[in-house]
Amino acid sequence: MISQWQLRAAFAARLSEMYGREVPAYTTLVDVSREVNEDVLRARGADAERLGSIGRVTAERHGAIRVGTPSEVRQVARVFGALGMHPVGFYDLRDAASSAVPVVSTAFRPVDGEELARNPFRVFTSVLTPADPRFFDAGLRARLEAFLAGRELFPPELLALSDRAGAERELPEADAERFVQLAVHAFELSAEPVDQAWYETLERVSAVAADIGGVRSTHVNHLTPRVLDIDALYRRMTERGIEMIDTIQGPPGWHGPDVLLRQTSFRALAEPRAMRTPDGSVVSGTLRVRFGEVEARGIALTREGRARYDALLARVDEQIAHRTEADRTELARALWAELLPDSERELAAQSLAFFTYRPVPGRPRDGTAPPGTVGGLLEQGWVRAEPIVYEDFLPRSAAGIFQSNLSGDGARREGDGDGRTGEGTSARAAHEEYDAAWLAGALDREVLDPYALYEQQQSRSLARTARELGLART
Ligand code: OOG
Ligand code: NI
């Protein structure tokens, strides 16, 4: 029998193999990431593994897919449910000022610590919002919905195997193999000719709308390795002549602990695709739909910690607007140092980040009683804190990453009006319609709250620690 985590690991590995065959630049990214990780390990020793063993980090990937309808995203939930991956978090990418895209998203991932340690594979999953009149007028919406209703992304055999694996939490070997084959195939780029006129109609609204609704299948659009030093990775990719987007998204690099998530990407490559022209002939064209991304993960921040990050973004935007010449990175680094303590201990003591706690074994009992605060326990060496890694995404970074394939034809830039109707009352209504509850309804599953998951992991460890130290509570 093949268990869910083994299925997940097999799927992730085979998807990676497929993507490397189809997108050779991905292989370069994986190779360079591995080199950087080995260097960091050599330079920092055990400290390099503070946020995950080198085995986990080297194997770790996230992918991204985009689908068109509630029923399609529900099928996605069944396929990933088979792999022990659950929808966590709700991201609305329609508002980002300079990079609005007509989707709302969640991430499918394992949720419990042991499952994450076995294989943390996650997939950022977006679903189109055709009823949002800021992007689609009534006529286009109707054509789009009719087109989407007529396609099948996942064959019935795959869905049946998915439901079985989801219910039984394992599959016999032959069925597991079949499942992995069908699942990987569902995310390959299809060779079917693309209807050029239809694709271009959608592209005028948004390149993402065209990527989702302009073709009869779906595909993984990037697969992201994890790296221990993203600044070094960025330099090395640039040295190899690969043109990266101009920033690293997320918190700035600084002297303090890594927190949340830093990501960067290279632009989608022009790949040859068969196109059906309006007169019915098939010609060869190119589309830019698949790109490369890499990320560094840090400690998960509490709501209070996250509020500081959001304040950082707001302050950088504000100050950059007045001082266009200012170096964004330098400014962010300086503000960050002001907003966030630069040690794990202070992050823990001020409840800004999540940790798991455990008593220090063999601490000499000097007759004093352990203090009642986390800060005091850490300070006096009673307990040790291990950082909890941020397993989720950042909406602002995600919006920036979407730009990786919006920067060519079909880019929607700030102030572009084409394809959008005004932002009247109906626009606001549609805006509210696509919320977390809408997504949960579409998925037919609860969308889990990432903070609640981290909080639970932390409070369990605190309760255990308090018990072992004989404290009433901490
Ligand atoms: C997803 C972009 C977001 C990330 O890592 O933030 C993302 C997409 O382009 O479909 O993958
Ligand atoms: Ni990504």
**The total number of structural domains that make up the chain:** 3
pLDDT at 191 over 80: yes
Whole-number pLDDT of residue 225 = 96
Q: Are residues 148 and 119 in the same domain?
A: yes
pLDDT at 324 over 50: yes
Taking each helix axis from N to C end, the angle separating 196-203 and 138-149, rounded to the nearest 10 degrees, works out to: 130
User: Which backbone phi and psi does 283 adopt, to 5 degrees?
Assistant: -120, 165
pLDDT digits (tens, 9 = 90+) for 251-298: 999 999 999 999 999 888 889 999 999 999 999 999 988 989 999 999
Q: Show the tokens assigned to 266.
A: 């290279």
pLDDT at 420 over 80: no
Which residues are CB-contacts of 319 (< 8 A; sequence separation ≥ 6)?
A: 326, 331, 335
Q: Are residues 42 and 163 in the same domain?
A: yes
C-alpha pair distances (Å), 320 with each of 132, 263, 308, 332, 400: 31, 21, 18, 10, 17
Q: Are residues 50 and 172 in the same domain?
A: yes
Dist. CA 64–CA 263, nearest whole Å: 14
Q: Are residues 273 and 363 in the same domain?
A: no
| Domain range enclosing 369 | 354-387+449-474
When pLDDT is averaged across residues 106-123 and rounded to a whole number, the result is 95
Cβ count near 225 (within 10 Å): 25
Whole-number pLDDT of residue 361 = 87
Whole-number pLDDT of residue 412 = 37
Contact 424, 122 (CB under 8 A): no
pLDDT digits (tens, 9 = 90+) for 6-15: 999 999 999 9
pLDDT digits (tens, 9 = 90+) for 42-99: 999 989 999 999 989 999 999 999 999 999 999 999 999 999 999 999 999 998 766 7
Distance in Å, CA 125 to ligand 2 centroid: 10
Cβ count near 20 (within 10 Å): 16
Q: Are residues 120 and 247 in the same domain?
A: yes
Whole-number pLDDT of residue 414 = 35
Element (H, E) at 61: strand 61-67
In this structure, the residue with its CA closest to atom 4 of ligand 1 is 398
Q: Are residues 416 and 459 in the same domain?
A: no
Predicted complex ipTM: 0.99
Nearest atom (ligand 1) to Cα of 397: 6
Of 92, 401, 407, best ligand 1 pocket probe by most atoms within 8 Å of the beta carbon:
401
DSSP 301-317: B-HHHHHHHHHHHHHHH
Confidence of residue 432 (pLDDT cuts 50, 70, 90): low
- Residue 257: inside a domain: yes
Dist. CA 284–CA 364, nearest whole Å: 74
- Residue 415: inside a domain: yes
Whole-number pLDDT of residue 262 = 97
**Ligand nearest to the Cα of 400, by number:** 1
